Structure 1
Amino acid sequence: MTFSQHVAVITSDEQALIVASDLADDFKRDSALRDRERRLPHPELEAFSRSGLWGISVPKAYGGAGVSNVTLAKVIALISQADGSLGQIPQNHFYALEVLRVNGSEAQKQRLYAEVLAGQRFGNALAELGTKTAHDRITQLRRDGKGYRINGRKFYATGAIYAQRIPTSVVDENGVQQLAFVPRDSKGLTVIDDWTGFGQRTTGSGSVVFEDVHVAAEDIVPFQSAFERPTPVGPLAQILHAAIDTGIARAAYEDALYFVRNKTRPWIDATSDIATEDPHTLKSFGQLSIRLHAAEALLERAGEFLDRAQADTQADTVAAASIAVAEARAISTEISLAAGSTLFELAGSQATLAEHGLDRHWRNARVHTLHDPVRWKYHAVGNFYLNDEKPPLRGTI
């Protein structure tokens, strides 16, 4: 198993944000080219890993920075603004680390956190095609001597192609879901680059096939129990998705500003010779600005609620965090789609030329926001405030 070399160890929230901002500047440079050519970002991910950012959620007690969820969300938003795919790739890495924090044994935490701080990336093999619902799992975990064997097939395995370990949801002989932290180089494990989504094109979100794959008992972490009691695992997963969409929205908005300022011509009926003085354009930018700032504020607020739920985990704090995150998810979905689409209305036909690559923002937002339906966010939020009904305990609401 290989690790990234010369990995930095980030020690504070402030350092994490500075490093993320610097990396984002580098990642933005060729983001349109990577999208257009579906060039998988192997060198960028190595830089990402060496920066130490993949270890920032490791608790201080285990040598990490233990950054706040406000900071974690900002880091993901910054990277997603530069490149939506790069921002999504570590999402399930941080999700797996939260499952480990909540349900892992002390020995598992010591060992797996150390691997992350040394530069190891975790992917994921959670979702499956062809099951009754999107949350059903049939990949099997069966005991074999002192260890286990895994058989099954996964899809939407974001990050697996780039990972050294692939946390995999499996169903044991008692019908209980576990999370197996499977080494990427395990015999019988095949990662297939068959992701053909029209957005988030370089996430590598394809298939993972397990054919009698051995996994050690010490690499199995309880999974289902994280949703049988109040834990922050669900809202942690969701705030990262909200951060990705918020970053994509900010990228589309900034590109719209640049294009209208520098390239767009005013419409024939406008009273000004300058596109930036068109009253309809001003109104549209005003609407986008307000919604984007609201999304960014709700994302920060959601991080604060999640920090409280991690510090004092009980039914009420987890429910409040889940609702705050659902609010951020709802508005980030809408502004990412609106910014990606309105960009062309404001910038004009010139903006649709392939060399600009501006269509990637809407495509990335459209594909990523399908992760779970925004209509159910509004249902959960309304039910919470009107009927005092807590949201369900799972990874999505």
Structure 2
Amino acid sequence: MTVVTAERITTADHAVRIATELAEVFAAGAAERDLSRRLPHEELDQLSASGLLAITVPAEFGGADLPPSLVAEVVRILAAADPNIAQVPHSHFVYLNLLRLAGTRAQQRDYFGKVLAGARIANAQSERGGATVADISTVLRPVGETGASDADRQPVESSRIDGGGTARRFVVEGTKYYCTGSLFADVLAVLTRLDDPQGISGLEPGEYVAFVPALEPGVRIVDDWDALGQRTTGSGTVEFAGVTVGPEQLVARASAVNAPTGYGAFAQLLHAAIDAGIARGALAAAAEFVRTRSRPWFEAEVTHAADDPLVVQRFGELAVAVAAAESTLIVAGAAVDAAVRPKVAVAQDAHPAASGDGDGAQASIAVATAKILADRAANEVSAAIFEVGGTRSAAAEHRLDHFWRNARTHTLHDPVRWKYQHIGRAVLHNRPPPLHGVI
């Protein structure tokens, strides 16, 4: 468990103020941490202690219950300072949303309470061995599935995982990669596929997220992340060898992912916020460099590089790209807010799960638009630092390359070319985007 005393954030203004204060602190050491790959353990403890990681906890469980648009703004502010730190809690917020949508009351009380106390959740989701990233081979197997006795074959009391005292246990086996934040986590959210051909668990077939303590026996977290950017996100490999879990640790994904709940739109909104933040941070760094270090090109016949009309023109273009990304992020955030308004619960033990007045399809399209513009701005502006800064901007001592490396690495998360496809189909055929949790 993260050893911090977490503050309680109660309003949107409070959250933005705290995020802004932390961003100023985090920005001061971002380039040096990137250069030496010093993992931000202390900074993430500060983030936990600030209370920002609990801002989406529903009010009935003691949280501020702030909307997705506000979470995106907090992430954008942090990303402008250090996108590594901003990316670490991405999965944390996504899996809190899963608990809100699909967890039982008991699970919500448990995990929301941990987060309010400062705990951090990280993902263990992606794999490498399948034909595509959507293929999951990590298995969730009921204990006794092989060679089970008649007693073992009795199903659990309900097909819903209600944590109601059943003795059934499960084993998690597999290896995950790109596990962002795993080196800093208290809990790992492990995407698994139920392997129960005999049907002894009583659970519906499909994918389940197992919430596993990071220090659980059988869990091995490997610090092997070696990408050219986002170097301090702790996105290494996690191995699960005979890790045992109970039903109270399992959440079925289907009700959140295979319905218009805004689950995927929320996750993608935060990715767009990271990219928009990188773009803003890169623009600020470029402007500071040109004002204080660059020499003007002789043909401009000016004393200062910042007065070169061609440089001024280029900064205008870059500023428009950043403003467009930030503006569409605001629009997308409002659309996701509308899509995730809770409806009246349909079961006594279930938290409200799906969209009410909002439109999940419209939210996904709005987020796809924001993601495209944020991707474009982050890569363009971070590369243009050298274009406007001149030869000396490429010197290693200035460490300006970390903006581009971070942008190029993070924007590989999911291809924007498919965002264009979904937007085009919506315009031409009025076809909603697919429900797979990645748009």
TM-score norm. by structure 2 comes to 0.88
Q: How does 1:140-289 map to 2 (within 5 A)?
A: 140-144=139-143, 146-174=168-196, 175-289=205-319
Asked if the contact 2:190/2:211 (under 8 Å) is kept, the reply is yes
Matched residues in 2 for 1:16 and 1:342: separation? 32
Matched residues in 2 for 1:377 and 1:315: separation? 24
Q: How does 1:1-397 map to 2 (within 5 A)?
A: 2-144=1-143, 146-174=168-196, 175-311=205-341, 313=355, 317-397=359-439
Matched residues in 2 for 1:74 and 1:394: separation? 25
Asked if the contact 1:230/1:314 (under 8 Å) is kept, the reply is no
Gap change, CA 1:114 and 1:316, over 3 Å in 2: closer
| TM-superposed deviation, 1:347 | 0.5
For structure 1, the residue ranges without an aligned partner over 5 or more in a row are: none
Tell me the SS of whatever aligns to 1:168: strand
Asked if the contact 1:4/1:118 (under 8 Å) is kept, the reply is no
| TM-superposed deviation, 1:356 | 1.4
Identity over aligned pairs, percent: 41
Which deviates further from its counterpart, 335-344 or 228-237? 228-237
For structure 2, the residue ranges without an aligned partner over 5 or more in a row are: 144-166, 197-204, 343-354
CA deviation string 1:158-179 (max 9, x = no partner) = 0111000000000002551000
Which deviates further from its counterpart, 76-85 or 267-276? 267-276
Give the letter for the 1:88 counterpart.
Q
Give the letter for the 1:141 counterpart.
L
Matched residues in 1 for 2:138 and 2:357: separation? 30
| TM-superposed deviation, 1:264 | 0.7
Matched residues in 2 for 1:309 and 1:119: separation? 28
Matched residues in 2 for 1:316 and 1:217: separation? 32
Matched residues in 1 for 2:38 and 2:296: separation? 36
Give the letter for the 1:311 counterpart.
R
| TM-superposed deviation, 1:381 | 1.1
Give the letter for the 1:150 counterpart.
V
Give the letter for the 2:428 counterpart.
L
- The structure that is helix-richer by fraction is 1
| TM-superposed deviation, 1:147 | 1.4
Which deviates further from its counterpart, 285-294 or 312-321? 312-321
| TM-superposed deviation, 1:280 | 1.3
TM-score norm. by structure 1 comes to 0.98
Asked if the contact 1:230/1:315 (under 8 Å) is kept, the reply is no
Asked if the contact 1:123/1:157 (under 8 Å) is kept, the reply is yes
Give the letter for the 1:227 counterpart.
V
What is the number of residues matched between the two proteins? 396
| TM-superposed deviation, 1:314 | 5.7
Which deviates further from its counterpart, 308-317 or 351-360? 308-317
Asked if the contact 1:302/1:328 (under 8 Å) is kept, the reply is yes
Asked if the contact 2:262/2:340 (under 8 Å) is kept, the reply is yes
Alpha-carbon RMSD across the aligned residues, in angstroms, is: 1.2
Asked if the contact 1:239/1:302 (under 8 Å) is kept, the reply is yes
| TM-superposed deviation, 1:272 | 1.8
CA deviation string 1:62-102 (max 9, x = no partner) = 11111122211010011111111000000000000111111
| TM-superposed deviation, 1:5 | 2.2
